[in-house]
Amino acid sequence: MSSPEPIPPPNDRRGSRASSNADISVQDGNGVMVGGPPGSPSPLQIRASNSLNSKNRRRPIAKQPPDVHLLEYCHTPDSNLVCLICHSPFDKPVKLLCDHYFCRQCLEHAWAAQQDGEKTCPTCRSKVDVDKDLRPVPRIIETMLDELVVKCPNSKSGCDWSDQRANVHDHVMLYCVYTLVQCPSYDCRLHISQKDFHKGCLHYTVSCENCHTSMMMKDLEGHQRTDCPGRSTNCPHCSAEVLRLDFQAHVKEACPKVVIPCSGAVLSCTFTAERAEVASHQETCVVAKLAPHFQEQQARIERSEARLEPLSRRVGILEDGLSNITSMLYPANSEPSLPLSEPLDPTSLEAFPPAHLTAASDFRLSPNPFPSVPQNDVPQTTQPPFDSQIHHLLTMHDSLREEVSRITNALGELDGRTNMMIINESQRQKDEMLHTNAAINSMRMQLHWLMSATLSNRNAAGSSTARASASTAAASGSANSATRGASASAGLGNRATASATLHAPLRRLSDSTRQDTKL
């Protein structure tokens, strides 16, 4: 990039940069160096570091993969699968020529202190050529290692997952809610377990209200659950020892001495006593047994009513659309009396309890056809306004269908007539063609006769001059043109008039034949 002639892209970039920001000095000798004084980082560098930061910020799920060496195993592993250096089951094991197995990482640690070319097997001290003597272990060993059951590395934080070792990576990286992730707060560099991620930054110091030890907020619950010396208290009602954290829940749900009402209170049971007594009362209280069903029904009704609201709104919208259509169809009739609501209202009043009246009054479409049909048979046959939209549509459909069949019939008729006409016409054409053919044939015959007559004439002349024979040839040419319908050329003597007289009767003949076919 130090060439005096910069390649186009940087040149362009420099140009646009200089135009966009006049302050930026451009060191032309280099052609690339863009930015402020040499000591300050170039804009590119700043941008790069910014983007790196923001990338880290946007990916708070930068989790540490589990270290296989630190896993807890649920069962004591087979001693043949244990690395003699780390005393854990092998992690990515390799085999040396001397048939000793080690984790790759353990071998690297062991060899870190040894000189190149002097690496030895940690067990038997036989020399090892690092480039050649490392062998993969048999497949079955890998499989056995993968199948060892391990605990989640976050088990100390509370995760009770355990499964085959092959799955631990996925568990920690994808599923475990105790895995540490970067704190969601922008300027906090600490870590927090994934399950607390949504709570925001918990990295501030609080003091435990029970023992006055100060700690991070994120550790408070764990402390109050397991470590705090003052974590438990005696329930003032039943004097049982409970965790302070759980005290509210204990009083609300478990304490046998707290006075509560019978669960049938919603259905007017007035019994009130300590929880233990209430429990035995509820064994016999009929209302208490009904209460859950009652509550369930109640909830269901509430759900239904909640659903009704949007539905009735939708019906209203449909209703509007329908009346729009009606008014479009019958602009005169629809306006003065809404024909739809008239026959319906009494039936809707009978069908629904008063509570639903408001909803039902909008509800015109669905129950309509059935009650209205038996009531009035007469309007069904009358012209619009129809008693029902559906009848109207049906009638329209029928009339359309009739019209279609009428059109179909007419079309068929027309088709037949056209066919006849075509047949007749073509027949006539055919006849005419026959006549024309006959006329042409007779003309050919006459021409032939004429030609032979001319030839015999020339033979009879015998000693006539070359000029005469030339004129004969010209005469025969003009005769040819005369047969094609052109007028004969004058000034060629009697031979030309002869051809003209021949032509006239022929013409007459064809005219007469045409008149024949026309008749």
Does 454 help bind another protein (rule: CB under 8 A)? no
Answer for which of 18, 26, 33, 86 binds Zn ion (CB under 5 A) is 86
Answer for which of 71, 83, 220, 488 binds Zn ion (CB under 5 A) is 83
Instruction: Quickly list H helices, 167-285.
Output: 168-170, 217-222, 247-249, 275-284
Tell me how far, at minimum, the Cβ of 67 lies from another protein, in Å: 7
Of 120 and 312, which CB lies nearer to another protein in the complex structure?
120
Under DSSP, the state recorded for 259 is E
Does 182 help bind Zn ion (rule: CB under 5 A)? no
Answer for which of 237, 275, 392, 514 binds Zn ion (CB under 5 A) is 237
Answer for which of 77, 89, 264, 339 binds Zn ion (CB under 5 A) is 264
Q: How many angstroms separate the CA atoms of 145 and 88, rounded?
A: 11
Interface region with Zn ion, contact rule CB under 5 A, candidates 173-181, 314-322, 448-456, 475-483: 173-181
Which amino acid is present at 93?
P
**Nearest Cα residue to 391 out of 332, 343, 336:** 343
Q: How many angstroms separate the CA atoms of 173 and 391, rounded?
A: 66
CB 281 within 8 Å of CB 273: yes
Contact pattern from residue 63 through residue 102 relative to another protein, giving x for each residue in contact according to CB under 8 A and a dash for the rest: ----x-xx-------------xxxxx--------------
Does 228 help bind Zn ion (rule: CB under 5 A)? yes
CB 275 within 8 Å of CB 265: no
* 471 interface partner picked from Zn ion, another protein, none, CB below 5 to 8 A per type: none
Contact pattern from residue 195 through residue 214 relative to another protein, giving x for each residue in contact according to CB under 8 A and a dash for the rest: --------------------
Residues 6+ apart with CB under 8 A from 91: 68, 69, 83, 103, 104, 105, 145
At which residue do the structure tokens 């025969």 appear? 476
Of 103 and 255, which CB lies nearer to another protein in the complex structure?
103
Of 78 and 320, which CB lies nearer to Zn ion in the complex structure?
78
Rg of the chain on CA atoms, in Å? 56
**Nearest Cα residue to 156 out of 90, 218, 71:** 71
Per the DSSP assignment, residues forming a β-bridge with 149 are 164
Answer for which of 73, 271, 294, 352 binds Zn ion (CB under 5 A) is 271
Peptide bond into 374 cis (omega under 30): no
Q: What is the dihedral of CA 374, 379, 385, 390, to 10 degrees?
A: 40
Does 128 help bind Zn ion (rule: CB under 5 A)? no
Residues 6+ apart with CB under 8 A from 107: 85, 94, 122, 134
Tell me how far, at minimum, the Cβ of 113 lies from another protein, in Å: 6
CB 18 within 8 Å of CB 26: yes
Answer for which of 208, 291, 479, 488 binds Zn ion (CB under 5 A) is 208
Does 125 help bind another protein (rule: CB under 8 A)? yes
Of 7 and 84, which CB lies nearer to another protein in the complex structure?
84
Tell me how far, at minimum, the Cβ of 108 lies from another protein, in Å: 11
Q: What are phi and psi of 422, to 5 degrees?
A: -65, -45
The footprint of another protein (CB under 8 A) covers 67, 69-70, 84-88, 105-106, 109-110, 112-113, 122-123, 125
Chain positions contacting Zn ion, by CB under 5 A:
83, 85-86, 98, 100, 103, 106, 121, 123-124, 152, 154, 159, 161, 176, 183, 185, 188, 190, 201, 203, 208, 210-211, 228, 235, 237-238, 255, 262, 264, 269, 271, 285, 288
